[in-house]
Structure 1
Amino acid sequence: MRRALILSALLGLLTGCAGTPPDPSGVWINQAAIDAASKSGKLREALLAYGPNLEWRLDSKAQKASFSNGFELGEGQLSHDPNDKKHWQVAFYGSKQETLAVDGKQLLQTASENWPEQRFSRPQETPTAQAPAGASFQHALYGAFLKGTWIIKEGQGQGSKVSFQPDGRLDGMPNAERYALCLAGDCAAMSGDNDSIWLQQGRQGREYLFQRNDDKLELFEAVNRAQSDEMPEYNPGRRVWLLERD
């Protein structure tokens, strides 16, 4: 009788575990987009191909889920069906809903009416609880896309060594101490098919269009072709800098 009770308890425990999908809590980033951008040098093209979502932050205990696409932050409620052994559901305001699942070392976001299938990985560096949404993706992207030491071959500061830090600091670039890569939103709309970067010194800054081919980085003036009452439409102007990776 005692053995039967123990077996019954074990079966109940196993059944309960089998009905709970793996806990996805934590931060997940779109590593595929980072890898594609770093390899090709085409940032916007990679984000469009592997996006639009760039980062998920999940907390199963608090039943919270949020995503970042580089411009917007979406927040929803995280839950799972007791009869579903694999998937988690994220419900947003209204009827919008997304499905997530832990697939080995990746987080799978299944295809839906809103978004295509996407896969996410854990960031190499553990983010702090105070880090803003999207910060882990940005840090990983910045550390890969423009990594290393660059030499100014043409333009102001010729011969100087430049380094783009993962936290957005910029060392060695004339009249610039911070930078930001355009990921989405208005800057992307204004730049069209071009990649753009923001360079800033103190409170002053401006955008440049850029092309990165392997170890060569060209920065161009962003020339506005739109009318004064229209949204800016930037096209490459004269080349301002040519940098080569050391």
Structure 2
Amino acid sequence: MRSALALSLLAAILSGCASHADRNPDGTWINQIAIDAAVKGGNLREALLANGPNLEWQVNTKASQATYSNGFELGEGKIASAANGKLHINFYGNFSEDLTVDGDELLQAASDSGPEQHFERPESPAPEGAPPGSSFEKALYGAYMGGKWTIVSGDGQGGIVQFLPDGSVQGLPDNDRYALCLAGDCAAMSGEYDSMWLEKNEQGNPWIFARKGKQLEIFQAVNEAESDQMPQLRPGQRRWLLEQK
């Protein structure tokens, strides 16, 4: 009986410790659902908007700080209360958000700023000190652009291209860095089309792209706006057709 009682008490203690650890909100959380939706194909920004607006949370209860990124803006909030995995966060502008740790997820409650959202721990977070949103971007780039792509047509035809999670690109002629447009001014300029930035030696230009399954088309971005208007980028001549191996 004493042995059974001791085992029961030990199990309860261990269970309590595990429960406490599981409810720790500190660290980085990313919107994996948005990434999974994007990988299925179609318009990238539509997938992010449909499962957003927020893409990443960084929580630091010791400093009473919580920061979200939506791919363009950062919201820096003050944690007003934190108990049992539940956070109430106040932001400048008189609005607040509520977060709850639910198992392996961080749940953002529905509010005036958006619907209910779910976040997960990143498998490979960005290095310490990286800007907020970097872990989501790294995970998205790895899932959405990862693998090896063959240049079916365009400069370097027959070559192999690799878009790496850190934003570097190998094998795409005259380019060594890329960045996908997730939100903000670049999204306003390209409208319904997805866009990316390509550069070499820190000199580059925006491009329109369309990803359909294992094919990726990259078009020159043509500005249809007047000189005194915000640019309106539309797809021009196709520069590359890539196919994922």
Give TM-score scaled by structure 1 length. Answer: 0.88
- State how far apart, in whole Å, the 1-side matches of 2:43 and 2:88 are: 33
Amino acid paired to 2:214:
D
State the Cα distance separating 1:80 from its structure 2 match: 2.1
Amino acid paired to 2:49:
L
State the Cα distance separating 1:172 from its structure 2 match: 0.3
Contact 1:41 1:145 in 2 (8 A): no
Pairs within 5 Å for 1:1-246: 22-80=23-81, 87-246=86-245
Contact 1:60 1:79 in 2 (8 A): no
Contact 1:162 1:173 in 2 (8 A): yes
State the Cα distance separating 1:41 from its structure 2 match: 4.0
- State how far apart, in whole Å, the 1-side matches of 2:204 and 2:216 are: 19
State the Cα distance separating 1:86 from its structure 2 match: 5.6
Cα deviations across residues 44-85 of structure 1 (Å, max 9, x unaligned)? 111110111110000111111001111111101113266xx5
What SS does the aligned partner of 1:65 have? strand
- Counting aligned pairs with the same residue, the percent is 54
Change (3 A) 1:115 1:220: same
Structure 1: where are the runs of 5+ without partners?
1-17
Contact 2:61 2:82 in 1 (8 A): no
Structure 2: where are the runs of 5+ without partners?
1-18
- State how far apart, in whole Å, the 2-side matches of 1:86 and 1:67 are: 17
- State how far apart, in whole Å, the 2-side matches of 1:62 and 1:203 are: 36
Cα deviations across residues 171-190 of structure 1 (Å, max 9, x unaligned)? 00000000000001100000
The runs of 4+ residues in structure 1 deviating greater than 3 Å are none
- State how far apart, in whole Å, the 1-side matches of 2:125 and 2:144 are: 19
- State how far apart, in whole Å, the 1-side matches of 2:141 and 2:82 are: 38
Contact 2:23 2:103 in 1 (8 A): no
- State how far apart, in whole Å, the 2-side matches of 1:120 and 1:239 are: 36
CA RMSD of aligned residues (A): 1.6
Amino acid paired to 1:166:
P
Contact 1:109 1:118 in 2 (8 A): yes
- State how far apart, in whole Å, the 2-side matches of 1:86 and 1:75 are: 19
Contact 2:43 2:211 in 1 (8 A): yes
